[in-house]
Amino acid sequence: MGHETLPMMTYVIQVLTGTIGSIGFSILFNIKGYKIAVGAVGGAVSWIVYLISFYRTDDVVTSMLISTMVVAALAETCARICKTPVVILLVPMLIPLIPGRDLYYTMQHLVFGRMDRAAFYLQLVLKEAGAIAFGIILLTFVTQFLQKTVHYFENKKKIIKHKIN
């Protein structure tokens, strides 16, 4: 393989493993049927968005936040289409974003008594997990706000129409 194809192949492998991880967790959480495929596609999307964001920002935490928000929006949309709770689709979609490598390094450094390195990786894990949590909360807030706003104006329109008639 040439030098230019190696990084692209690495990204393809990363997306495929993220997709497989999403499928595995969908099965583990007893998700059935086509919802497994929805979770798998969402898992692939989450990692693709993360890779693109990281390429543009060169910041893990920002990339996690952006990817989480995109996937949370996707999960909200798919949940409405599939008529299923959002969390059923969101959890498998977020699996590729779990900061497993940094958590592993945190534990490894703790075991070997390298507290300075363990503290470094622990703060990174907490930032990454915080970005994921904040992305979910922010998107959930925006979605609920938009739903309530649309509902408010639909009711207002009905009231005005009723008064006219």
Tens digits of residue pLDDT in 4-31: 555 889 999 999 999 999 999 999 999 9
**pTM for the predicted model, two decimal places:** 0.85
Domain ranges of the chain: 5-164
Tens digits of residue pLDDT in 109-131: 999 999 999 999 999 999 999 99
Torsion angle of C-alpha atoms 25, 19, 132, 129, degrees rounded to 10: 70
58: left (phi over 0), alpha (psi -120 to 50) or beta: left
Cα-only R_g, the chain? 20
Q: From CA 151, how far away is CA 79, in angstroms rounded?
A: 19
Q: How many other CB atoms are found less than 10 A from the CB of residue 109?
A: 18
Tens digits of residue pLDDT in 136-149: 999 999 999 999 99
H/E run at residue 165:
none
Smallest CA-to-CA distance from 94 within 147, 34, 134, 146 is with 134
User: Which residue, chain included where needed, has tokens 């030098």?
Assistant: 3
Tens digits of residue pLDDT in 39-91: 999 999 999 999 999 999 999 999 999 999 999 999 999 999 999 999 999 99
H/E run at residue 58:
none
User: Which residue, chain included where needed, has tokens 């907490």?
Assistant: 126
